[in-house]
Amino acid sequence: MTDIRTQKTQELITNIFIDLLKEKPMNKISVAEITRKANIGRGTFYIHYKDTYDLYDQLISKIINDLTELFDENYPDTQDSPNFQALSNSLISYISTHKTVFQLLIRDTHGRDIINSIKDIFIKKIMIEEQGDEKDTRYRAFVSFSVSGIIGVLTDWLNGKFILTDQEVSTIINDIIKTIF
């Protein structure tokens, strides 16, 4: 368990890093710039991260772990009449809370690779949950198409192509999922 001061310092560093990513590419962000804006010493930064790339990697790992955990906690157990609303709500709430990071990911080439990795994770998890046969190319293609469609809706929402509330997006995602399963 991380102590509260460590957690606050890491949040401060991460938030400043995200703010800087809005202004410029990652390779133009220095540790000195982050520490100056955070009003901390460089040594404090290096206690938590090796460099800005490590900070980025840890941020992405946390997002992927959080999304995976939300999926695992909220994917319905019952096969009879599954309700995906809790899953939709929790995912949209998380994405909305971290909207800036997701917006940065979808505009960046490397970030799009990360979004594709998240897509692959969800496809694999759905195949396992639904006990789909990995060798069944048609079913895997159907799941892939569905997950890609959901990510497309989320991307358009994050890019401002849909002006919708979190609840409206969650309902749309839930409706899409219901047509799949």
Do the beta carbons of residue 73 and residue 90 sit within 8 Å?
yes
**pTM tops 0.75:** yes
Confidence of residue 71 (pLDDT cuts 50, 70, 90): very high
Do the beta carbons of residue 26 and residue 53 sit within 8 Å?
yes
Q: What is the pLDDT of residue 65?
A: 96
pLDDT at 161 over 90: yes
84-126 per-position pLDDT tens digit:
889 999 999 999 999 999 999 888 877 788 999 999 999 999 8
How far apart CA 79 and CA 136 sit, in angstroms, is: 20
Q: What H or E segment, with its residue span, contains residue 37?
A: helix 31-38
Confidence of residue 135 (pLDDT cuts 50, 70, 90): confident
Q: What is the pLDDT of residue 81?
A: 63
How far apart CA 171 and CA 85 sit, in angstroms, is: 7
Q: What H or E segment, with its residue span, contains residue 175?
A: helix 166-180
Averaged pLDDT for residues 150-156: 93
Averaged pLDDT for residues 26-37: 95
Question: Higher pLDDT residue, 175 or 40?
Answer: 40
pLDDT at 28 over 90: yes
pLDDT at 36 over 80: yes
DSSP at 28? G
How far apart CA 46 and CA 24 sit, in angstroms, is: 22
